[in-house]
Amino acid sequence: MNPVSFSQSSEPAPLRLAAKLGLFSTTMIVMGGIIGAGIFINPYVVAQNVHSQRLILLAWAAGGVIALAGAFIYAELAARLPAVGGQYAYLREAGYPALAFLYGWVLLFVIQTGGMAAVAIIFAHYLRELCHLQFSDALVASLALGLFTIVNCLGIRPGGAVQSALMSLNIAALTAFIAGGAWFAFHGGQPAIAPVMHPKDSVFSFGAAMVPVLFAFAGWQTTNFIAEEVRDSKRNLPRSLVLGVCGVVVLYLCVNWVCVRALGPAGLASTTTPASTIMHLAFGHTGEALMAAAIVVSALGFLSQSILTAPRVYFAMAEDGLFFRSMAWVHPRTRVPVVAIALQGVWTIVITFSGRYDQILSYVVSMDFLFFGLTAACIFVFRRRAFRLARSAESGWRVPGHPVTTIAFIAVSGLVVLNTAYKFPLNTAIGFGILTAGIPAYFLWRKFNRTAERVS
């Protein structure tokens, strides 16, 4: 679907987004989309499903392989179509504009804002404890969201610089935890004496363990939203996806090795704050405070990345006449879609104060992985078109092992959706209900689009 033009041909063309991000900044954005406060907490959930060091680490390694397979798929998509909006643009250009709209719809109402609100509350909770603030979690979270919204309205370069700085601090914090935790593991930790296979372990328990692992590795795909703002995006965006995911895989494996080595599988499963527990055992209250600071930085990095990337989807939808026209307005000086950025910031703050972020977050998994699989399937459409046009080698990035690896990634995404539906039927039903509510909205926007075309 082509963007709607509301101006005469004699008028100047609308401003475009500015390509100002290099490889390093883009790689930091990839890593910031994945790493959040959850990596310091989630390892215990995996240990509650599988009960040996080997299986715990195998689950995280398998999650890393799947994430890397997805990164290669999105790298090829980015090389073939370096368009603003990422997944939205791929679904649209593959010939499924309705699915593209529904993705943007659930991104705004479920996936992005619910996740941001929940992480903002985590940030506020740890910051208040660390600094002994007397304000509510919702107020502190909203102030952080508002600040990042303003920074990103100032331009992609300031937003990228803040994200790079936060991500560098985040990597340093993770590295410090790994070093401190490893020291404790070898000087006072619990040996991982659990058997290779526990009586409770099975294929089904391993599958259950993979759900939080895959969720922890998700987020790299959001960098594709800003493709138009990456310099030499056909080359740099695919490279940043692979480099960023590889970096996160290494960090996550090291963090989980420290957790299971320091606490043992049973000890890890028994604490809901494994990283804080390890640092407290190793360095007392000082270590616990440092861990709280690390969680604050990680949460800030995720929030910064989310506010920077997702509004480009709403911008692309507005350009196509499927959202409010103002969302496609680019500020002449900062060259960013300030209205789209402000919309997401304000809506996330509303969710934060509503106290319903936990409920919305519970709908995220099924929606996120549904569109993971649908977007990955676009590879088949684009390759078939390229073959028909005798341009099968026009993309410098190609998915290794395609079609087997691509089909496997789609199958895993589908299994996550099915597993979520089985374990959380009500939450999944509500998520699909919100998705379905977008169908009449799509047809209304399309009707409005056609009316505007006739008027113009």
pLDDT of 336 > 80? The answer is yes
How confident is the model over 259-318, as pLDDT tens digits? Answer: 998 998 888 999 888 998 999 988 999 998 999 999 999 999 999 999 999 999 999 999
Looking at residue 423, what is its pLDDT?
A: 81
Looking at residue 194, what is its pLDDT?
A: 45
d(C-alpha 396, C-alpha 235), whole Å: 8
pLDDT of 122 > 70? The answer is yes
Q: Which residue has the tokens 């979270």?
A: 141
User: Does CATH number 1.20.1740.10 belong to domain 23-455?
Assistant: yes
What share of the chain has pLDDT > 90, as a percent?
A: 60
Query: Which whole number is the average pLDDT over 206-223?
Result: 88
State the average pLDDT for the chain: 88
What share of the chain has pLDDT > 70, as a percent?
A: 90
The per-residue b/e assignment along 233-262, b for 16 or more CB within 10 angstroms, e otherwise, is bbbbbbbbbbbbbbbbbebbbbbbbbbbbb
Looking at residue 435, what is its pLDDT?
A: 93
Query: Which whole number is the average pLDDT over 227-234?
Result: 92
d(C-alpha 211, C-alpha 347), whole Å: 28
pLDDT of 9 > 70? The answer is no
Query: Which whole number is the average pLDDT over 167-177?
Result: 93
Confidence of residue 161 (pLDDT cuts 50, 70, 90): very high
Looking at residue 422, what is its pLDDT?
A: 85
Confidence of residue 207 (pLDDT cuts 50, 70, 90): confident
118-132, 231-245, 315-329, 347-361, range with the lowest pLDDT: 347-361
For 11, list phi and psi in degrees, rounded to 5. -80, 155
Confidence of residue 388 (pLDDT cuts 50, 70, 90): confident
Amino acid identity of residue 135, one-letter, is F
Looking at residue 208, what is its pLDDT?
A: 83
Confidence of residue 4 (pLDDT cuts 50, 70, 90): very low
Query: Which whole number is the average pLDDT over 82-88?
Result: 93
Looking at residue 192, what is its pLDDT?
A: 47
pLDDT of 112 > 50? The answer is yes
- Candidates 112, 111, 85, 82; CA nearest to 97 is 85
Task: Name which residue leads in pLDDT, 301 or 423.
Answer: 301
Six-digit token string for 267: 């000890």
pLDDT of 5 > 50? The answer is no
According to DSSP, the residues that pair with 21 across neighbouring strands are 230
Query: Which whole number is the average pLDDT over 329-340?
Result: 94
